[in-house]
């Protein structure tokens, strides 16, 4: 069976209607275009994100259901609290964004990463423009885990995370949820559900419900101090 997939124009930053996204593979909407910052921001504000493997054209997705985490209700497991008391990881924000993006790619085998050199450069550009943010987890002055994502109003669109030491990315997410909620953050978009996200308490929203939430929150302002480079303490 032949499936028609729209190709994005190089000089336009619009996307097809989301109801044209395929059911199989889930959420595939279009291909082509580029990773210009304006296109990426337009995509995230429309509930769309790029995801493709080396050698493929740029693929654009809007799956249903969507995996999300509510930062206000996120509760770490008792075992994680106990672990952090012993490990005493330190958590910072926006101190080493380029390095976190590189480590998210480098800590996975090539067959499992979608962070091509082009993708890494695109998110690093967004970081310099103030839209891409990182959370760093430290032990003994060394980065041992982290995550990064895109700011869309009161929503944080999580892109990738990694751990070099036990529970490092979980501690980073816990710290960010707490910090994000305290500064007006309402939702963390995790894109596609998987067992790791489920273990962290992620839930799912159907695409139409996710889009209603996105439409309501994407232009609402968040406390500007939320993303200011700083150290984050855990309560």
Q: In the chain, what is the greatest distance between 2 CA atoms, to the nearest angstrom?
A: 56
Indicate the residue among 21, 46, 63 that finishes a domain.
Answer: 63
pLDDT digits (tens, 9 = 90+) for 57-80: 999 999 999 999 999 999 899 999
Residue with token string 């002055």 = 141
Is 109 a residue whose pLDDT tops 80?
no
Is 4 a residue whose pLDDT tops 70?
yes
* Token digits of residue 182: 């305290």
Indicate the residue among 34, 63, 92 that finishes a domain.
Answer: 63
Does a structural domain hold residue 128?
A: yes
Is 54 a residue whose pLDDT tops 90?
no
Calpha distance 38→167 (Å, rounded): 35
Is 96 a residue whose pLDDT tops 60?
yes
What is the model's pTM? 0.94
Q: Are residues 156 and 102 in the same domain?
A: yes
Q: Which of 13-27, 70-84, 103-117, 141-155 has the lowest mean pLDDT?
A: 103-117
Using CA of residue 104, residue 109, residue 113, residue 118, what is the dihedral sign? Answer: positive
Q: Are residues 59 and 105 in the same domain?
A: no
* Token digits of residue 209: 């419900």
How does residue 8 score in pLDDT terms, banded at 50, 70 and 90? very high
Please answer whether residues 204 and 68 qualify as being in contact, where contact means their C-beta atoms are separated by less than 8 angstroms.
yes
Q: What is the pLDDT of residue 10?
A: 85
> Domain range spanning residue 195?
67-232
Strands 49-50 and 7-8: unpaired
Is 1 a residue whose pLDDT tops 70?
no
How does residue 187 score in pLDDT terms, banded at 50, 70 and 90? very high
Is 2 a residue whose pLDDT tops 70?
no
* H or E stretch covering 197: helix 195-199
CATH assignment at residue 24? 3.30.70.3550
pLDDT digits (tens, 9 = 90+) for 10-19: 888 999 999 9
Query: If you average pLDDT over residues 44-55, what whole number do you get?
Result: 94
Overall number of domains in the chain: 2
Does a structural domain hold residue 49?
A: yes
Q: Are residues 130 and 29 in the same domain?
A: no
Does a structural domain hold residue 2?
A: no
């Amino acid at each position: 069976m032949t499936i028609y997939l729209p190709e994005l124009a190089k000089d336009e930053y619009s996307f097809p209607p989301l109801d044209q996204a395929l059911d199989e593979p889930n959420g595939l909407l279009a291909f082509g275009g580029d990773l210009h910052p304006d296109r990426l921001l337009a995509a995230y504000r429309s509930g769309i994100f790029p995801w493709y493997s080396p050698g493929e054209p740029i693929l654009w997705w809007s799956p249903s259901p969507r995996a999300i985490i509510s930062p206000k209700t996120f509760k770490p497991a008792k075992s994680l609290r106990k672990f952090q008391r012993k490990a005493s990881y330190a958590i910072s924000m926006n101190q080493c964004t380029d390095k976190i993006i590189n480590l998210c790619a480098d800590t996975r085998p090539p067959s499992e990463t979608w962070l091509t050199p082009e993708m890494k450069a695109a998110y690093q550009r967004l970081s310099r423009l103030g839209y891409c943010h990182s959370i760093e987890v430290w032990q003994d002055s060394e980065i041992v885990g982290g995550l990064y994502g895109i700011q869309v109003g009161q929503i944080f669109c999580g892109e990738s995370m990694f751990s070099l030491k036990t529970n490092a990315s979980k501690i980073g997410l816990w710290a960010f949820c707490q910090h994000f909620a305290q500064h007006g953050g309402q939702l963390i978009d995790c894109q596609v559900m998987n067992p790791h996200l489920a273990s962290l308490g992620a839930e799912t929203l159907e695409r139409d419900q996710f889009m209603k939430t996105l439409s309501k929150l994407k232009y609402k302002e968040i406390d500007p101090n939320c993303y200011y480079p700083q150290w984050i303490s855990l309560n």
